[in-house]
Structure 1
Amino acid sequence: MQLGTRWTSGDEPPKAVPDALRLGIRAVDETIPADQLGQPRPRWTLTWLEGKPIAELDTGVIVSLDAEGKAVARNDPEDGFG
């Protein structure tokens, strides 16, 4: 696994994030409500597993590409919420 980069949810993803993955990330970001108390937004981590990009949000949401190259969001089954 190759570690990529981190950025805050709602911010523009780094250039290293493939366009197809950006669409899934944006869809997830749009579901996160604004925090009225000023708490920081969760952060994304981009990693590469077997040459495929995976973006994981601090909350356990994972966005990856399916066999057709389309973004798929899911919960990490190991975070206790999946």
Structure 2
Amino acid sequence: MRLGTRWTSGEEPPQAVPEALREGIAGVDATIPVDMLGAPRPRWTLTWLEGKPIAELATGVQVELDDDGNAVVRHAPDDDFA
């Protein structure tokens, strides 16, 4: 069993986040305004599904790995940062 973790967007992901996901996460973080008008930045959650890592932002954005091990970003239909 692998445990997930949480962190705030824009911060360095914890060591538990696989290197293969980090580039996708950084790309999403770069689209989020630094000044969110006093609102806290959204948080990431790392979970594992059938042994595969999935990082999900509180806005609904997901970063996961394709069959070749490359990071793929998926946006929720109502995601403000798509």
Place the TM-score, normalised by the shorter chain, in its bin: 0.7 to 0.9
Mapping of residues 57-68 of structure 1, within 5 Å:
57-68=57-68
Q: Any conservation in 2 of the 1:2–1:49 contact (CA below 8 Å)?
A: no
Identify unmatched segments of 5+ residues in structure 2: none
- Residue identity in the other structure for 1:10: G
Distance 1:36 1:21, change over 3 A: closer
Distance 1:55 1:33, change over 3 A: same
Q: Over aligned residue pairs, what C-alpha RMSD do you find?
A: 1.8
Whether 2:42 is the aligned partner of 1:42: answer yes
- Residue identity in the other structure for 2:74: R
TM-score (norm. length: structure 2): 0.87
Deviation at 1:75, TM superposition (A): 1.7
Identify unmatched segments of 5+ residues in structure 1: none
Deviation at 1:27, TM superposition (A): 0.5
Structure-1 residue corresponding to 2:17: 17
Superposed structure 1 runs of 4+ greater than 6 Å apart? none
Distance 1:53 1:39, change over 3 A: same
Alpha-carbon distance between aligned partners in 1 of 2:64 and 2:73, rounded to the nearest angstrom: 7
Q: Any conservation in 2 of the 1:10–1:29 contact (CA below 8 Å)?
A: yes
- Write 1 or 2 for the structure with the bigger share of strand: 1
Deviation at 1:33, TM superposition (A): 1.0
